[in-house]
Amino acid sequence: MPTNLSALLPSLMLSLAALASACKSIPNPMSTKPPASLPPAAAFGKTKAGESATVWTLKNSRGLIAKVTDYGATLVELHVPDKAGKLADVVLGFGDVAGYEGGDNQYFGCTTGRVCNRIAKGKFTLNGKEYTLAINNDPNHLHGGKERSLSKVMWRGAPYETRRGKELVEQGVVFTYTSPAGEEGYPGTLLVTVTIALTRESELRMDYEARLQDAAPGDATPINLTNHAYFNLAGAGSATVLDHLLKLEADQYTPTDDTLIPTGELKPVKGSELDFGKPHRIGDRIPADTTPWKGYDHNFVVNGKAGEMRLAATVKDPASGRVMEIHTREPGIQFYTGNFLKGQTGKGGKTYPHRSAICLETQHFPDSVNQPKFPSTIYKEGQTYRTSTIHKFRAE
Ligand code: GLA
C-alpha cells in the first residue's frame, strides 16, 4: 500500500465508525468479527452496571506492547524496552475493570473529559446561559465530572491494523462514545472518537475527534480532551520518579490561585523551579508538600504554534535508559508528579506510593472556558474538534 494511503487509513476508519453510528441503517463494519491478524481482544471483567469490558493488545515490531480497554478509553499497560532490551510496563493501572471503577483509581491512563483539568467553581456561561457542573475537587470541577465523565463510561472499541506489504505499520483501537446532552452538566450531544495506536516508529499515538450531534445553528459546547497516563520509566510500581530527568519546551506557565485555577496571566519560568529548559532531575527542585500544589502540578505553555505537532517534553530514566518524548498539537501540558498517589495496589500487586509517577497531560489551559485570553475550547455546531498527541520511546 502506498505511504499516503496507509497514513490515511486510521482517519478513514474513524469516518467509517462515525458514519456507522450516525446512520443506523448502514451496517457497522467494525462490529463484524475481526480477521485473526487484528489486535486480539480479551475479557476485562464486568462493570458494576453489568457491562462487559474488553482489553485489546497492540504490538509493534520493536517489542513494544500496549493494552487498551473500552472502559474510559483507557491505556492499561505499556511495555517498553530498556537499553539492554528488557521490557517493563511503564504505566500505572489495574488488572480489571473493577480496579478502574474503584476508589483507588486516580484517572490512571484514561481519556479525560469532556473538559480535562479544572473549571472554576464548576460554572461557566455560554450563549447567555449559565451551566453548573459537579464540584468533585472542592471548590472546583475536575476532569469532566463525578459519575459520567468520559473516563467513567463504556466506549465502543474497533481494533484495526495498517500494513505495508507484510510490514506492520501500526495497530490500534478506534474508540467511539456518544455523550448525551446534559451529561455531567455539559451542553449538547457530543460524538467523541479517540484512536489509540502503537506505530512501527515506537510511538503511542492518540488522535482525538469530537463534534456536536443533532445541534441547532449557534449551539456550542466546551471540549478539552487528554489522556491521563501515569508514567514511571523505571517500571510502574518503582518507588519514585524523582530521579527522572525532564526537559520541557515551555518558556511560560499559567500561574494559579491556591485551588489551581489560573489567574489568567502567562508567566516566564526562567530561573524558577519550573524552568526545565535544560534537563533537570525532577526531585532537585520539586515544590514542597506544604505548597498548595504539593509538588509539581502546573500547566506549561508549550513553545511554538498550537495546532502544529511539536515536541513538548522529554523524560529520561537514567538507570534504565528509557526515554519518552511527547509531541502534541495542544497549547499546554500539565506536569503533575503523582502528589496524591496514596500507596494503592495496582496491576500485578504493585503499589503506587506518593510521587511514584508523572503525568504530562497535553491540553488547552485549565479553566479556559472562563478565561477570555486563553485559546478557546468552545466548539460550535458544524465545527470538528481535532487534536493528536504522540509518546515516542527509545532507550540509550
Ligand atoms: C491532574 C490535576 C491534579 C490531580 C490529578 C488527578 O493532574 O492537575 O491536580 O487532580 O489530575 O489526581
Q: How would you label 303-338 residue by residue, b for 16+ Cβ within 10 Å and e otherwise?
A: eeeeeeeebbbbbbbeebebbbbbbbbbbbbbbbbb
Q: Tell me if 117 CB under 6 Å of ligand 1.
A: yes
Residues 114/129, Cβ–Cβ less than 8 Å: no
What DSSP designation does 152 have? G
The rounded radius of gyration (Å) of the Cα atoms in the chain is 20
How far is the C-alpha of 244 from the C-alpha of 194, rounded, in Å?
29
**Residues 312, 329: Cα–Cα separation, whole Å:** 9
**Pairing state of beta strands 220-222 and 378-380?**
antiparallel
Work out whether strand 65-69 and strand 52-59 pair parallel, antiparallel, or are unpaired: antiparallel
- Given a contact cutoff of 8 angstroms between Cβ atoms, the answer to whether 185 and 134 are in contact is yes
Ligand 1 contact via 140 beta carbon (within 6 Å):
no
| Residue 378 near residue 187 (C-beta atoms within 8 A) | no
The closest-lying atom of ligand 1 relative to the alpha carbon of residue 107 is 6
AA identity, residue 19 = L
Alpha helices by DSSP H, listed for the chain, are: 3-22, 97-101
Collapsing DSSP states into helix, strand and coil, what is residue 4? helix
Give distance in angstroms: CA of 370 to centre of ligand 1.
19
Catalytic site residue 298? no
Task: Report whether 169 contacts 155 (CB < 8 A).
Answer: no
Q: Is 357 touching ligand 1 by the criterion CB < 6 Å? A: no
Exactly one of 228, 244, 327, 391 is catalytic; name it.
Answer: 228
Query: What is the rounded distance in angstroms from the CA atom of residue 386 to the CA atom of residue 193?
Result: 10
Distance of CA 29 to the CA centre of its chain: 26
Structural domain spans, the chain: 3-395
Q: Which three cell numbers stand for residue 248?
A: 520541557
| 3 state DSSP class of 165 | coil
Question: Are residues 9 and 16 in contact, defined by beta-carbon separation less than 8 angstroms?
Answer: no
CA-closest candidate to residue 361, choices 210, 269, 248:
248
Whether ligand 1 lies within 6 angstroms of the CB of 340 is answered as yes
pLDDT, tens digit only, all 396 positions of the chain: 334 444 444 454 544 444 444 443 344 555 555 556 799 999 999 999 999 999 999 999 999 999 999 999 999 999 999 999 999 999 999 999 999 999 999 999 999 999 999 999 999 999 999 999 999 999 999 999 999 999 999 999 999 999 999 899 999 999 999 999 999 999 999 999 999 999 999 999 999 999 999 999 999 999 999 999 999 999 999 999 999 999 999 999 999 999 999 999 999 999 999 999 999 999 999 999 999 999 999 999 999 999 999 999 999 999 999 999 999 999 999 999 999 999 999 999 999 999 999 999 999 999 999 999 999 999 999 999 999 999 999 999
Dig out the grid coordinates for 47 from the structure.
462493570
Residue of 136, 142, 291 to test ligand 1 pocket, by largest number of atoms within 8 Å of CB: 142
In the chain, the N- to C-terminal Cα span, in Å, equals 33
DSSP assigned state of 262: B
Report CA(47)–ligand 1 centroid distance (Å): 24
Q: What is the pLDDT of residue 118?
A: 98
pLDDT at 3: 42
Based on the residue annotation, tell me whether 228 is a catalytic residue of this protein: yes
Does the CB atom of residue 359 touch ligand 1 within 6 A?
yes
pTM given for the model: 0.91
Distance (angstroms) between ligand 1 centre and the Cα of 336 equals 7
- Picking from 47, 159, 67, the residue whose alpha carbon sits closest to that of residue 109 is 67
CA atoms within 13 A on the CB side of 353: 5
The fold of 3-395 is Beta-galactosidase; Chain A, domain 5 (2.70.98)
Amino acid at 375: P
